[in-house]
Structure 1
Amino acid sequence: MDKINVTLAQMTPKLKDKSYNLSQIKNAMEEANKNQSDLIVFPELFLTGYSVGDKLNEQAEKVDGPSINEIKKLCKSLSLYTVFGFPESGDGETNFISSALIDNQGELLGLYRKTHLFDQEQKFFESGSNFEVIPTPMGNIGLMICFDLEFPEVARSLKLMGADILVIVNANMDPYKEHHYIYAKSRAMENEIPVVICNRLGQEDDLNFCGDSLVLDSWGNELLSMKDSEGIETAKLPLSSVMDSKMDYVFRRKEDLYSILTDSQHRE
């Protein structure tokens, strides 16, 4: 498969209203199906809204929970792959910010738990402990979530693990719009890999979510840029391209010089 149709659902969820958000997911997936999309991507914690920490006991679900099962049925009936964000209920009282990849037969192919928690997220969620690259007929998909984007080690690790495309679910807010625009293009260019990043819109308390969802090819070229427009848009994404052999960043790494990156005495 040389190209795929990728749909971004840059929308505004209703906080703590899973029924409403599931209806939005259904509508967006039906629109993607009409556009002959292969993959649709939703924002971080879209199932519940972002500021859900104080209601996690009510809102978080396990991977076989009712909302996730409903999305599985939609994937099968509409023959769509999807990546979406939700609060995952783990063992005991442990909860994670997670993204799930479901295939076009309604099967859960993989799950990623956010490893880099931002600000107040640390009060309510645990960090994940693994990076995930998931094989699919579209290529190997590496999953990331929002703040992960700001750590170049994450994208590089996924590339070294064999990822062919990076899919990032986002709940990025002002004043960090420019940060993520620059980082998304950088992650694509420095790893010579396509990047799909889906952010949300709307306001929760003092948080203003800033959109700017993107589909970038492996050169960092913008194939889709949604700015601050609410909607469901599709782009054709090449999964491979002829790269500049003078660059070849992965091959030209000097691994013996990078031990400082994991040396604990340099963490502060």
Structure 2
Amino acid sequence: MSTVRLAAVSAEFGRDLEEDFAVAERLIKEARADGAQLLALPEACLGGYLLSLDGGGSLDADGRGADPGPPPLAPDGPEIRRLAALAGDMTVIAGYCETDGTSRYNSVVCVSGDGVLGNHRKVHQPLSEDADYASGDGFAAFDTPVGRIGMLICYDKAFPEAARELALDGAEIGVCVSAWPAARTDPAPDLSEDRWKRRFDLFDRARALENQMVWLSANQSGTFGSLRFVGSAKVVGPGGDLLAGTGVGAGIAAAELDVAEALETARRSMGHLRDRRPDAYPALSATTGAAAR
């Protein structure tokens, strides 16, 4: 048996890339000192998210000038290499704005000191996000020093098919990075009672349970533009149990477990992937993978 310490971050990030790297470096050092081998930072942590999801993203935080938006970064560029150098012997996951020719994507990258291990472009786009980003077109798991990982970004996790595709591709650990805000209308005075926060938590636990996989959820905290983020970073076990969480504030949620043993135990008697009946729901993809056997 081999245990792994997994950690997910709730923290505030903005448009200043140097400041974001300073925050990321501090969090990586803190997680390393705690023994973490895998650390998930939030969506858009390198350069900040959008100021609004109502089509007003071009205004700055004070509503006065033009906001250039998140800085576009190349996955093989100096900024991602800098993140990899900070990761060193750890595996680190972070959200950024990816540039590819004339297109920009809301992306998440997984790195270690050896370089890029995986990259995912957000597929599902809420509200007016498609005005700023092109959409990704698929989901795939990949191997890392801590196990086989599948990544999602924010709204992706509202679609069961996305996480299921990763599970069928053999993902042992699902990682969803977010910039998930509180409700846009009638927000709760107490952020912990916000209905969008409840949805955020329900999606995390449901995706872990239905796929019987370990789940990490990182999220932005604080405010940016018109958005107030719900925090709530967490580690969820393959039975849907909350193993660690930050609540709505900033912090690092960390838990240690033997991933292979946890999956084997969860899937021993009732194997949700094994017991699928694709012939009964032909409208869905009948994709099969090693995890379904």
Matching residue within 262, 269, 272 for 1:249: 272
Please give the secondary structure, in 1, of the residue aligned with 2:24.
helix
TM-score norm. by structure 1 comes to 0.90
Matching residue within 115, 140, 157 for 1:132: 140
Q: Could you say which residue in structure 2 is the equivalent of 1:17?
A: 16
Q: How far did residue 170 of structure 1 move?
A: 0.8
Q: How far did residue 251 of structure 1 move?
A: 1.8
Report the residue type matching 1:99 in the other structure: V
Q: How far did residue 257 of structure 1 move?
A: 2.2
TM-score norm. by structure 2 comes to 0.83
- 1:104-154 Cα shifts (integer Å, max 9, x gaps): x24111111111111121111111112121112321100111101000001
Q: Could you say which residue in structure 1 is the equivalent of 2:192?
A: none
Matching residue within 221, 242, 257 for 1:201: 221
Query: Is the contact made by 1:132 and 1:142 (CA closer than 8 Å) also made in structure 2?
Result: yes
Q: Could you say which residue in structure 1 is the equivalent of 2:163?
A: 155
Q: How far did residue 3 of structure 1 move?
A: 2.1
Q: 1:217-236 to 2 correspondence within 5 Å?
A: 217-236=237-256
Q: Given the superposition, is the C-alpha separation of residues 178 and 210 from structure 1 closer, same or farther in structure 2, using an over 3 Å criterion? A: same
Distance in structure 2 (CA, Å) of the matches to 1:82 and 1:244: 27
> Which shows bigger deviation, 145-154 or 2-11?
2-11
Distance in structure 2 (CA, Å) of the matches to 1:18 and 1:31: 20
Q: Given the superposition, is the C-alpha separation of residues 58 and 4 from structure 1 closer, same or farther in structure 2, using an over 3 Å criterion? A: closer
Q: Could you say which residue in structure 2 is the equivalent of 1:89?
A: 99
- 1:1-47 Cα shifts (integer Å, max 9, x gaps): 63211122211012x11010000001111111111110111000011
Q: Given the superposition, is the C-alpha separation of residues 170 and 155 from structure 1 closer, same or farther in structure 2, using an over 3 Å criterion? A: same
**What's the % identity of the aligned pairs?**
28
Distance in structure 1 (CA, Å) of the matches to 2:108 and 2:267: 33
Q: How far did residue 261 of structure 1 move?
A: 3.8
Distance in structure 1 (CA, Å) of the matches to 2:75 and 2:267: 41
- 1:190-231 Cα shifts (integer Å, max 9, x gaps): 111110000111112321100111101111111111111212
Q: How far did residue 49 of structure 1 move?
A: 1.2
Report the residue type matching 1:10 in the other structure: S
Q: How far did residue 81 of structure 1 move?
A: 0.8
Please provide the CA RMSD for this pair: 1.8
Query: Is the contact made by 2:140 and 2:165 (CA closer than 8 Å) also made in structure 1?
Result: no
Could you list the runs of 4 or more consecutive aligned residues of structure 1 that deviate by over 6 angstroms after TM superposition?
none
Which structure 2 residue ranges, 5 or more long, are not aligned? 52-56, 59-66, 184-195, 286-293
Q: Could you say which residue in structure 1 is the equivalent of 2:131?
A: 123
Distance in structure 2 (CA, Å) of the matches to 1:155 and 1:24: 29
